[in-house]
A and B are shown apart, each in its own frame.
Chain A
Amino acid sequence: MKKIIFNLVLCFIAAQAFSQTCDGTITGHVVDADTKQKLAGASVSIPSLGLTQVTDDKGDFKFVGICDGQLKIIVTHISCDNYTTEANFKNKLHLDITMPHARQTLGDVVVEGQRKIANTGFAKQLSTKELNESKGLNISEALSKLNGVTILQTGSTIAKPILHGLHSTRVITINNGVKQEGQQWGNEHAPEIDPFIAGKLSVIKGVDELKYGSDAIGGVVLVEPKKMRTTPGASGELNALYGTNNKQQILSGSFEQQFKSLPGFTYRLQSTIKRSADVRTPNYSLNNTAADEVNFSVTTALRKKNIESELFYSYFTSKLGIFTGSHIGNLTDLLDAIASDKPDNIYLNNSSYKIGRPRQEVLHQIVKSTTSLKIEKHKLTLQVAFQNNDRSEFDIVRRSDNTKPQINLVINTLSEDLIYEHPKVGNITGSAGLSFMQQNNSYRGRYFIPNYDANTAGAFIIEKWQKHKWQVQAGVRADFKNIDTRRIRSSGDTISNIFNFKTIAASGNIARDISQNWKTNLGISLSQRAPYVNELLSDGIHHGTATYERGNITLVPEKSTNISLGLSYKNDAKTFESDLLFYNNNINDFIYEQPRPDAPVLTIAGAFPLIEYTSTDAQLTGIDHSFQWKLIPSHLTWTNKTALIFARNKSINDWLINIPSQRFTNQFAWDFRDGKSLKESSISIEMSNVLRQTRVPDPKNGRTDYKDPPPGYTLLDMEASTKINLAKKPIVLAASIRNLLNTSYREYLNSFRYYTDEMGRNVTLKATINL
């Protein structure tokens, strides 16, 4: 008994002693040195006590129960250099910490000021959550999670993004700062990019697009890798995926390291291996729809006080099978295929990983060097990039022992960009740049586009002014393009053409914060796109559509005037957010393919309808609306997206072809409270309603489409994920189900709607391990 009392007393004394010296609090507030913005998500740690706190939305943090004494406090944030302070702590301490902005990582050279300006017209970015959910999808499918972005497909393996109704050469893709130069003209040419390389996927429209070209009439897709680490140490990520529908297997990993002995030098290795078998629709699987992809990239970065250099190499190779049943010889075959509601059994249910003919084999390599120099507050960046794109298409051939491709296209591109960013003058920031590009294309086999050499030179200037509730941005750009084409026909005739195009673009944007809740934005962009070689000089049968396509050398650059008006609302509690965007894009001399029913082309395989590139005045008008409503804060969120678009061919008073139909998406997501072992768990269900496209070109103006648009459809998708710790390493486990109800449907924007249904239910299991 005595002993117990003694112990109690001892405890009491000890507790007293503790409360006297260890009940201190440290509070603090973290802001970004450059932008003066509150920094959320900064990690504040006291290593000697093993304590870490993360700043909240207001940039605040708080430690309680801290003992007096000498303490070292370290603050880290993803986009800042580390901050360290020491204090002789006694009872209470408040720290106002101004985080030095990291010597800007190179990615920032590309998108200027995006982070600071919330509402610049059409600027949309996949959230980390959406990016995680899109693992296993191709880059176009991932982008289609953004409202206003849809995909144009050729079967299940080939997809390219459509931004507000426009695609292909009207959309510029920037892959890690380099303008992607591949075979982008055809509908069946997908962007050659490994989606796992992206740490950030976004679409921009407006002033910032002038950095990349005057021809981004549809917008710019930005694929940016994760920022390189700025502190010594090593980290990595490993992703493993399995999809049940087409037995898709993906392994993707990255590793990066900075040595203590070599401060400022970081390298990253990244690779993805992907393999999938034949795609299964709800009722049958499609032969020869397997795909293989092998990609890797190496990045090295060197940061010194005033200079930064990055060297990047990426290798992308894919082999894509094209459904055997889609091969047709002439118009009669096409009409026969369309007439049957299901492909012949001979083309179905192999379910193998084998890829035969027809198929595409694509290799895309990029070598890029970027160097930025900071002198005082001036910044100069030089980027030199070389790209090699080698595409082979293997058609169905007569001789089964033929191993050669029927068409091989090689594009080599060298580009040089010099960008100067001037110091902030008053409230103005800005940049100016020069771009040059030299390109060579050569082909072998079946004629598609001629050999050519192209040279472009361009210059831009962008200025941004920001004060209180106003932001004004403006920019201009001019480009000069020269294309020198040569085709030697088998008869020996040489067809040579020289084209010179001048294009000018200008863009302005005004944004205003009306109140804490309401923000508005008005943007006007003038852009011009010079015709591409395929539009000028195509001449041959397009087998997928059984048409004879002919270019037109008299085409002139398209001129687009795009007006966008944005309005966003956020309530005080931040439980409801809504975003509305209205746009109207008037494009004069819009290039499209006009049927010439009066002039069919007679060939040995019968008569093919002639389709000729021609120009019209087009108008694309649309509305994107989305809202996010936290029905039960921190648990239940309702997200709604609506995308409407109307596209007119004004010259002949008709609709434009291949425009997305109206679509609506509703998602309900439930976030679970963190458990002992399961953290950040969530489950969501999404319903998308796609209406039938009724606004299609009138067959009276010449048939381009031999099948009416398919009926509308409703799809259900599900997604669930959680995070566990295994040997102190966080592992994210996720499962997604696309087309939960295994609905049979066809999509208007998939050219294979002539032949087959879309993919059926697909359950994808994913694991991400952070090392």
Chain B
Amino acid sequence: MKFRLALLAFTIFTVAMTSCKKTEIQEDNDEELITTMILKFTPSTGGASTSFTFDDPDGPGGIAPSLDSIRLDANKIYNVEVQLLNKTASPVDDITLEVKNESEAHRFYFLPSANVTIGNLDRDINGVSLGIKSTWTTTTTGTGSIIVILRHYANNPPNKLEADNASDPKSDTDIQVIFPVKIS
């Protein structure tokens, strides 16, 4: 009899427990999301800087992202800095800091098919290219494109080497954006 009473009590308890539970509504929160990449160009000779952006403020899907064309002057040297944001977070999350903090596990690649060469990439703590900062040198006028890639080395230790290319199996792609480029 005691057993059945316990059973009854238990049944009531479970029913009560679930019916009292209210749905918690959580916001979408993809902390790994990068919505925005800003390339900030400052002429090496000084002067006003210009920025070109890939922007997808609502993340993948939904409203399509916007993409700027990079417009540069011919025969000029630019200091370029990359900034990454997650605009779905509030306040807006600066992802660049995370990449800097784990610099030995990240690397930017700039693959141009335009009259521009890219070099002088900044280094990670092990002295291997990182690419948050770089130097872009334009030549003659023309149009083309540039692929900006951010690779992440998930393994621990990352074993990131200078010779690794942008499709190295040790790393995977966090960012791959193709910017149109116009040099005039």
> Which A residues fall within an 8 A CB radius of B?
265, 300, 302, 309, 311, 324-325, 327-330, 332-333, 336-337, 340, 343-344, 346-347, 356-357, 367, 369, 371, 384, 386, 395-400, 402, 404, 406, 412, 414, 438, 440, 442-447, 451, 453, 486-491, 539-541, 548, 550, 601-606, 608
Contacts and interface: CB of A to CB of B under 8 A. Distances in A.
Given A346-B170, A386-B14, A604-B54, A451 B26 contact: yes
B172 A400 contact: no
Contacts of B21: 412, 440
B174 interface: yes
Given A357-B154, A490-B58, A384 B88 contact: no
A759 B119 CA distance: 45
Nearest to A543: B172
12 contacts: A328-B172, A330-B173, A344-B170, A398-B98, A398-B105, A444-B29, A489-B28, A490-B28, A491-B58, A602-B65, A603-B56, A606-B173
A445 B31 CA distance: 7
B18 interface: yes
Given A486-B23, A548-B61, A327 B10 contact: no
A369 B7 contact: yes
B95 interface: yes
Given A329-B152, A340-B169, A399-B102, A367 B14 contact: yes
B30 A605 contact: no
Contacts of A486: 23, 25
B45 interface: no
B126 interface: no
Given A329-B176, A395-B32, A604-B36, 10 more contacts: A328-B172, A343-B169, A386-B18, A398-B106, A414-B14, A442-B25, A445-B30, A446-B29, A487-B28, A606-B176
B177 interface: yes
B59 A490 contact: yes
Nearest to B155: A346
Contacts of B57: 491
A468 B133 CA distance: 87
B32 A333 contact: no
A399 to B, nearest CB: 5
Contact of B60 (A402, A438, A601): A601
Contacts of B18: 386, 412, 414, 438, 440
A710 B32 CA distance: 34
A636 to B, nearest CB: 50
A327 B59 contact: no
B50 interface: no
B175 interface: yes
A606 B67 CA distance: 12
A447 B30 contact: yes
B74 interface: no
Contacts of A488: 25-28
A309 B10 CA distance: 13
B65 A604 contact: yes
A344 B154 CA distance: 13
* Residue with the greatest number of chain B CB neighbours at <10 A, chosen from A367, A550, A604: A604
A396 B98 contact: no
A349 B177 CA distance: 34
A396 B152 contact: yes
Interface string B1-28: 0011001001100110111010111111
A617 B176 CA distance: 38
A386 B59 CA distance: 36
B35 interface: yes
Nearest to A395: B32
Contacts of B7: 309, 311, 369, 371
A324 B60 contact: no
Contact of A309 (B3, B60, B172, B176): B3
Contacts of B37: 604
A328 B90 CA distance: 27
A605 B173 contact: yes
A541 B172 CA distance: 15
B56 to A, nearest CB: 6
Nearest to B170: A346
B30 A406 contact: yes
A479 to B, nearest CB: 20
B125 interface: no
A300 B6 CA distance: 12
A347 B158 CA distance: 11
A344 B167 CA distance: 12
Interface in B141-157: 152, 154-156
A446 B60 CA distance: 11
Contact of A369 (B11, B58, B89, B105): B11
Nearest to A343: B169
A619 to B, nearest CB: 33
A603 B36 CA distance: 10
Contacts of A541: 60
Contact of A336 (B59, B65, B169): B169
A447 B33 CA distance: 11
B60 A603 contact: yes
Contact of B14 (A384, A395, A404): A384
Contacts of B99: 398
Contact of B159 (A346, A412, A444, A446): A346
B80 interface: no
Contacts of B106: 398
Contact of A347 (B25, B56, B60, B155): B155
B167 A604 contact: no
Leading 7 A-B pairs by shortest Cβ distance: A329-B173, A344-B169, A490-B88, A606-B176, A329-B172, A603-B60, A386-B14
Contacts of B101: 399
Contact of A346 (B3, B15, B27, B169): B169
A215 to B, nearest CB: 22
B121 interface: no
B72 to A, nearest CB: 22
Contacts of B36: 604
B3 A398 contact: no
B93 to A, nearest CB: 11
Given A398-B98, A440-B23, A414 B30 contact: no
B23 to A, nearest CB: 6
Contacts of A367: 10, 14
B17 A386 contact: yes
B77 to A, nearest CB: 27
* Residue with the greatest number of chain A CB neighbours at <10 A, chosen from B36, B159, B175: B175
* Residue with the greatest number of chain A CB neighbours at <10 A, chosen from B26, B37, B62, B156: B26
Contact of B58 (A357, A371, A414, A489): A489
Interface string B66-108: 0000000000000000000000111000010011011001100
Nearest to B12: A384
B34 interface: yes
A397 B11 CA distance: 42
Given A309-B4, A330-B176, A487-B28, A608 B14 contact: no
Contacts of A398: 32, 95, 98-99, 102, 105-106, 152, 174
A267 B92 CA distance: 56
A540 B65 CA distance: 15
A451 B22 CA distance: 11
A615 B106 CA distance: 42
A489 B7 CA distance: 42
A144 to B, nearest CB: 32
Contacts of B30: 406, 445-447
Contacts of A309: 3-4, 7
Given A369-B7, A447-B28, A605 B64 contact: no
Given A309-B7, A330-B173, A395-B32, A442 B24 contact: yes
* Residue with the greatest number of chain A CB neighbours at <10 A, chosen from B3, B10, B62: B3
